[in-house]
Structure 1
Amino acid sequence: MRSRTKSHTWLAVLTAACLASSSLVCAQETFDEVVKRTQKEKGSFAARHQKLLDERYDLKDRPADGAKMARGKAVQEGVRVRLPDGMTWDKLAGMTPEEIKEGDHWPAGFYPLPHPHHEAGGMLFPKLQIEEVKKQNARDLTRFDLDFDLPDHLLPEFPAPIYLTTRPDLGDVSKGKLVTLDNYYELFQEALNPKQLEGLRLLLTPFPQQQFNATDDRRSLRPSLGVACFDCHSNGHTNAATHTVGDIRPNEHRHRIDTPTLRGVNIQRLFGSQRALKTIEDFTEFEQRAAYFDGDPATAAKKGINPLERGSQVHFMAEFQELLDFPPAPKLDLFGKLDPKKASESELRGQELFFGKAQCSICHPGPYYTDNLMHNLRTERFFKEKMINGRKASADGPIKTFPLRGIKDSPPYLHDDRLLTLEDTVEFFNVVLGTELNKQEKADLVAFLRCL
């Protein structure tokens, strides 16, 4: 009787593992069958997701006048989240959470944003990253079943500049290039010591990953060397590559991941939007051991996991990441505040709001604009649970406070990319925090955020 119970328990565990995995062993499909099936389904899932984006957002290319990222890419302006018919932002902000919830007034763009195919998930890269990596070293990050979803004009500039805390005199060390294994030594040999240089090499080295590996259980047409840390954190920043978080089950509760910038990790004390890892070494090791394979160690063993040696490799990689600096902010003084001689009246008013009425500084104090803590916004107060393209909109739970230095260079916003512009972000927090900002105050606050 005991043996039979153990057998049934093992069967239940195996069944659950199959449901949570894309493994071809569980699915009993050949690689060619998976390619044919997913390519046949690709159009319908892309259409489903595009319909959601169009219903939620204004996706047009509308650059802000005079607002540029560090290398000159235009910052997008304006609120892009669409309101329900008959609603205004002032009216919405004047309602209680209960009124918004009962009347179903929560804007569609304020709900969690699903992965382009949330049921499948997995790493997904913007076209610019795919094309440049393929051009430099013929490694292909294209997925045969999915394409990236957001337009290029709503993403960070590519390739992003690299600033080093140890060599501010060098300016952009990348010299306008995407750093890869093909060019890192040429670009950095005079700027880094041997240990840091080896750390950068490891960050640029592809390792097998759930969707990109050499087995038949992959999502690239050809067997793949895998994925490098800097395929998502390109040039130590972010290219907005997305994924679904690997440590939450069931699948409908897994968040789409916004790839955060690695700039300024030297001043951070929490890593991972919800995992609360305590050091950049912890995060670096976790990514390779767990996140690369959606937290599935059995799959990782088959596909080629490469546990990094903590005392050398992880330490070398972390040391380089600790050197990545924020972009220059010429209007800020030594304490992270605006220099009155350089700032406009609108920017100065925005700073006063940030540290006052808008309540931003409670979680984002200067000079780096993070408190290194976790906070729960409890947005579930505003809506009823529902499924959205495979993602259950429910309580998000506590999320780490990300630094706001250089924030204009890191769209889209929030931990899952649901907010496309800084204006969207201000409207979101105006409702969630109940700060009752007027139109001019919102514009002033955005003007200040662009200075950080």
Structure 2
Amino acid sequence: MKGINDSKKAARLFLSVATLCLGATSLNAKEEKSSSYASVVVKEDFESTMKRMKAEKPGITKKHNTLLKERYDLSNRPSKKVNMSGGKPVQEGVRVKLPAGMTWEKLSSMSAEEIREKNLFPQGFMPLPHPHHSEGGMLFPKFHIDKVKKQDNRDLTRFDLDFDLKDHFLPEFPSPIYLTTRPDIGDVSQGKLVSVDNYFELFDGVLNPKQLEGLRLLVTPFPQQQFNATNDRRSEHPSFGVSCFDCHANGNSNAATHLVGDIRPQENRHRLDTPTLRGVYQQRLFGSQRALKTVEDFTEFEQRAAYFDGDHVIAAKKGVNALERGSQVHFMAEFQSILDFPPAPKLDVFDKLDPSKATKAELRGEAIFNGKGQCIECHGGPAFSDNMMHDMKVERFYKPTLKAGLLATAQGPIKSFPLRGIKDTPPYLHDGRLLTLEDTVEFFNLILNIKLSAEEKKDLVTYMQAL
């Protein structure tokens, strides 16, 4: 009997161990499953993470630069006639490369189905991946990093990644600041990058106390996903974080990039080209796809969620800045709402070209914009936006493709961005995939099947440069 009992005990022990093993296997399987939540517990110490990512950085950079060169002509070809409002020359010409043996005229004569089946959609028209899409996160141009380091003694360098697009394709830096309340002043920034170092001396006596406090908050750094004091940051040293104006430099944009926080899984997330804050007083939707209804909503959402990839759990860990809606959010929004577009001396009070000031090419371009080009369908109304969301269904032209960590597939509706001051805010489209205005004209000429002539395309670009 004793032997039988011992056998039963051994069998029970075996079953218990097996059950535990199976449970552990199941648990491991669950841990390995993709989740919308980032891990709160870091399993690799900071020094090891930094060493590993620094070692991986050259390979990641080389691979992404190869992708850019395959898609675009990246040469510096500044205009000799057209400058941004602060004086930087705009870049000229179509930069998206065509498939071998193809012309724009031939491509535009083909149907979307034919282009899709023959894989002829230009790669530069495809969604643009983040420099390291599976990692993502805020990434700043070097000129901004250098200026902030010198001016505010903050370091926005990431040890794992560098910004990818060349400086000549980006907005001028620092951008001028124009105010709806004081158009007589012109550029209020006086050519300086506005930060905690100088905001008070530049704006005291120009703004009311609420607006001044709102500006202070907009230039104050707060913790963010990659820049904070925790051990899963991507800055070498603990960081105060980033400010709103680190991306929206001087209320415009420095083309800093990120991944949108409101889409999962990671490969479906869009790259984000930072939009300008100029003219938000004319807008009724905020966020490329979120369709937030007020600038207050946008301001609060950015710091509570978008700063942290839309993950409120990680936000709590890293030190989220919980803004007070009735005062802080309101003050920040009040300042943003007086940021104006740059002067457009050829436009009348109804945003139409004054025939006595405009060139013949600009007037022809305006006619195309309002007619054959169909631009007015989405860019009518104040500031040349209908304040609506539109789905261009670009996926008609290509098969779903996973490349560089980004799944190019249907992307859904995107808001119509204002075109006032458009020459000041390259690159274009919500993810910055189009480097010049000529690229945008070719893009919409193809996807809308407009069939503009070469001269009509040129006139349309000339018109938009006058807005």
The answer to whether the superposition gives a TM-score over 0.5 is yes
Aligned CA-pair RMSD: 1.7
Gaps of 5+ in 1: none
How far apart, CA to CA, are the structure 2 residues paired with 1:18 and 1:39?
26
Letter matched to residue 213 of structure 2? E
Once the 2 structures are TM-superposed, how far is the Cα of residue 115 of structure 1 from its aligned partner?
0.2
Distance 2:289 2:25 in 1: 34
Aligned-partner SS, 1:247: coil
Match of 2:305 among 272, 275, 290: 290
Residue in structure 2 matched with residue 164 of structure 1 by the alignment = 179
Q: Is the contact between residue 260 and residue 271 of structure 2 (CA under 8 Å) also seen in structure 1?
A: yes
Report the CA distance shift for 1:17/1:212 in structure 2 as closer, same or farther (over 3 A).
farther
Cα separation, 2, equivalents of 1:13 and 1:258: 35
Q: Note if contact 1:335-1:366 (Cα within 8 Å) is conserved in structure 2.
A: no
Per the alignment, residue 128 of structure 1 pairs with 143
Partner of 2:398: 383
Percentage identity across paired residues of the two chains? 66
Q: Which of 82, 91, 111 is equivalent to 1:76? A: 91
Task: State yes or no: 1:336 paired with 2:351.
Answer: yes
1:370 aligned to which of 380, 385, 402: 385
Secondary structure of 1:141's counterpart equals: coil
Length-normalised TM-score, structure 2: 0.93
Distance 1:261 1:405 in 2: 11
> What amino acid is the match of 1:185?
F
Q: Counterparts in 2 of 1:26-65, with a 5 A limit?
A: 26=42, 28-65=43-80
Q: Which of 110, 121, 131 matches 1:106?
A: 121
Match for 1:314 among 329, 332, 341? 329
1:368 deviates by: 1.1
Tell me the CA shift for residue 159 of structure 1.
0.1
The amino acid that maps onto 2:248 is H
Query: Is 1:25 aligned to residue 25 of structure 2?
Result: no
The TM-score normalised by the length of structure 1 is 0.96
- The answer on whether the counterparts of 2:172 and 2:254 sit within 8 Å (CA) in structure 1 is yes
Q: Deviation per CA, 1:383-427, whole angstroms, max 9, x where unpaired?
A: 001111000010111000000000000000000000000000000
Q: Which residue of 2 aligns with 1:229?
A: 244
The equivalent of 1:241 in structure 2 is 256
- In the superposition, relative to structure 1, how do residues 16 and 185 fare at CA in structure 2: closer, same or farther (>3 Å)? farther
Q: List per-residue Cα deviations over 1:95-149 (Å, max 9, x = no partner).
A: 0000100110000100000000001000000011101110011100000000000
Does the 8 Å contact 1:20/1:251 carry over to 2?
no
- 1:367 to partner: Cα distance: 3.9
How far apart, CA to CA, are the structure 2 residues paired with 1:8 and 1:257?
38
Question: Is there any run of 5+ residues in structure 2 with no aligned partner, and where?
Answer: 1-19
Aligned residue in 2 for 1:410: 425
CA deviation after TM superposition for structure 1 residue 20, in Å? 5.2
TM-superposed CA distance for 1:15, in Å, is 5.2
**What residue is the counterpart of 2:203 in the other structure?**
188
Letter paired with 1:119: S
Q: Which protein has the larger Cα radius of gyration, Structure 1 or Structure 2?
A: 2
Q: Secondary structure of 1:261's partner?
A: coil
- 2:274 corresponds to: 259
Q: Given residue 108 of structure 1, which amino acid in structure 2 is its aligned partner?
A: Q
| Matched residue type, 2:361 | S
SS state of the match for residue 434, structure 2?
coil
Deviation string, structure 1 residues 420-445 (Cα, Å, up to 9, x no partner): 00000000000000100000000000
Could you tell me how far 1:366 is from its partner in structure 2? 4.0
Corresponding residue for residue 409 of structure 2: 394
Structure 1 stretches of 4+ moved >2 Å:
6-21, 23-26
Q: Distance in 1 between matches of 2:382 and 2:218?
A: 28
**CA shift in 2, pair 1:323/1:10, >3 Å:** farther
